[in-house]
Amino acid sequence: MSDRNAEAVRLLRIARRDLKSFLLLKTGGTEYAVDAKFHAQQAIEKCLKAALVANNLKARRIHSLLDLAMELKFGGIDIPFNPEDLDKLTPYAVMLRYDDEEFVTLDFTEATRLVEGVIEWAKGQVEVRSGGIG
């Protein structure tokens, strides 16, 4: 497996860990909403970067899910998600990590649908390019 493929697999593995953290924290309800959605954002960010790497595109060190999604689109990779929907989680990566009041950009149901869907899509991207993830 090439270094590029190994990096894509590593990013996807860490995204799955973030998904587990999101799912655990969301059971705590609104008290843990910001923390849970931070992990949803992180999972999607790592998935988008895994797809970029797997497709031999540059994965910049940014947190904007919109920018990462657009880099995939500009690189000729179709994503089955509305980039603007993904971007609703971007505030949880930076701004809301240092605030104690959440302004809700999307609910747990929508966040769950997005993060689980993006992980499945990214898994397919990585498997096709690396010959399997093991």
pLDDT digits (tens, 9 = 90+) for 101-134: 767 789 999 999 999 999 999 999 998 766 555 4
State the Cα–Cα distance between residues 23 and 32, nearest whole angstrom. Answer: 11
Q: What is the DSSP letter of 106?
A: S
pLDDT digits (tens, 9 = 90+) for 52-101: 999 999 998 999 999 999 999 999 999 999 999 999 999 998 876 676 67
User: What is the structure's pLDDT at 105?
Assistant: 84
In the chain the domains, ranked by start, together with CATH numbers, are 3-130 (1.20.120.330)
